[in-house]
Amino acid sequence: MPPLAGIRVLDFSTLLPGPLATLLLAEAGAEVIKIERPGAGDEMRSYVPKFGTDSVNFALLNRGKRSIALDLKAQDAVARLTPLLKGADVIVEQFRPGVMDRLGLGYESLSSLNPRIIYCSITGYGQSGARALTAAHDLNYIAEAGMLALSAGADGAPVLPPALVADIGGGTYPAVLNILLALRSREESGRGCKLDVAMADNLFTYMYWALGDGLAADRWPQPGKALVTGGSPRYQIYRTRDDCFIAAAPLEEKFWQNFCDAIGLASELRDDARDPAATREAVARRIGMKTAAEWEAVFAGKDLCCCLVKTVQEALANPHFAARGVFGPRLTAGGRAIPALPMPISPEFRTLRGEAGYPALGADNELLDKKTA
């Protein structure tokens, strides 16, 4: 029995944080019903490239779900949704604070209708506070939380991150964690609750070391100077002779000595605490003497925490990930199949293990016509 079998989720969210959260719930057995705008649906449907009739982004994030097209501003919208709301376990919404209340779908209204409802609101800055209604995106959240200032390029300017850390790490994962905790709590209390998930708030967890250094020792980290932000030769990206890159992370002494042996670093430069910049420059010169393939051969079988920087395409072809079944489940549409979005859920808890598609807009509108749900 899937762990979330019998759990019904009504998903009012769009784009990334909420849909990815409900995808995780769907993968664990929950029935997820998306509530979308008639005509256009989730804005993500319009993105490119296409996979089937909609964007591949939408397809990846909404595999195995159901879809209802409904104008939430219509006078009868709440009445038509009421049977589903009475039978729902979880609500996920991503509007600005106050929007769902104005639609008659706020927590107070729904909890009076269904006291067991778990109501999860995902926003950038939370349901309260001076910035609660401020429009922003992932880059803004990591900028205001101090995270962006910890990264720096060669010119000292902050570097755009390669992943949407706030959306996923600050929004999706905390939402799922708290929904699961709320479901467990409901088993004891019989009542649901409201969850206020603020993406910007949840970024501080990722900067534990920066907070610790600053608050305990008044050593506030600077970009390019802290241990894992470019200040150490033991945690660096080095360029090879053929303009590829080595990700070197031999932080511990045993790994560092193995690394120094492998690249032939002079003994007087191995004490990197004495002159980190000189050691870093010396390591860079050594790495620049060989091609990526030559270094890969040198590092093979050695315990030194180093690897080549791979492209996404190369990572997909890595036999390690294939052997672990990371790309085993399939997403289907229009007679095509591609690997589904990998999920951080143990295989024994997953329900969408084989092939599954994504819902056409309004494909499940018959659910609105049922008197009970």
For 249-284, how does the pLDDT look when each residue is reduced to its tens digit (9 = 90+)? 999 999 999 999 999 999 999 999 999 999 999 999
* Rounded average pLDDT over 16-26: 98
The answer to whether the CB of 249 falls within 8 A of the CB of 235 is: yes
Pick the closest to residue 295 from 353, 185, 304 (CA basis).
304
Average pLDDT, the chain: 95
What pLDDT shows up at residue 373? 45
Residue 154: per-residue pLDDT:
76
> Is residue 369 scored above 80 in pLDDT?
no
In 3-state terms, what secondary structure has residue 36? strand
- Delineate the domains of the chain, giving CATH numbers in brackets: 8-199+325-369 (3.40.50.10540), 236-316 (3.30.1540.10)
Q: What are phi and psi of 277, to 5 degrees?
A: -65, -40
Report in angstroms the alpha-carbon separations of 329 from 57, 64, 274, 337. Answer: 16, 12, 51, 10
Triad 5, 35, 48: Cα angle to 5°? 105
Quick: pLDDT tens for 55-113. 999 999 999 999 999 999 999 999 999 999 999 999 999 999 999 999 999 999 999 99
Distant-in-sequence, close-in-space partners of 338: CB < 8 Å, separation ≥ 6: 51, 56, 330, 331
pLDDT at 370 over 80: no
User: What is residue 372's predicted lDDT score, i.e. its pLDDT?
Assistant: 52
**Confidence band, pLDDT 50/70/90 cuts, at residue 245:** very high
- Burial class from Cβ neighbours inside 10 Å (0-12, 13-18, 19+) for residue 216 reads exposed
Share of the chain above pLDDT 70, in %: 99
**CA dihedral for 319, 323, 324, 330, sign (positive or negative):** positive
* Phi, psi angle pair for 356, to nearest 5°: -155, 150
- Measured distance CA(255)–CA(104) in Å, rounded: 59
> What are the catalytic residues?
137, 167
Cis preceding linkage at 161, omega within 30? no
Q: Quick: pLDDT tens for 301-344.
A: 999 999 999 999 999 999 999 999 999 999 999 999 999 999 99
pLDDT (mean) for 198-221 = 96
pLDDT for res 275: 94
Task: Look at residue 112 in the predicted model and tell me its pLDDT.
Answer: 97
What the block records as the tokens of 177 is: 């964690």
pLDDT, tens digit (0-9, with 9 covering 90-100), for 116-132: 999 999 999 999 999 99
The model's pTM:
0.94
pLDDT tens per residue across span 148-177 = 999 988 788 999 999 999 999 999 999 999
- Closest to 72 measured CA to CA, from 45, 103, 111: 103
pLDDT of residue 300 exceeding 70: yes
Which DSSP letter does residue 217 get? H
Q: Is residue 48 very low, low, confident or very high in pLDDT (cuts 50, 70, 90)?
A: very high
Q: In this predicted structure, what is the pLDDT of residue 227?
A: 87
Identify the H or E element spanning 198. strand 193-198
pLDDT at residue 371, as a whole number: 64
Contact 353, 326 (CB under 8 A): no
Q: Between 276-287 and 253-263, two packed helices, what is the crossing angle to 10 degrees?
A: 50
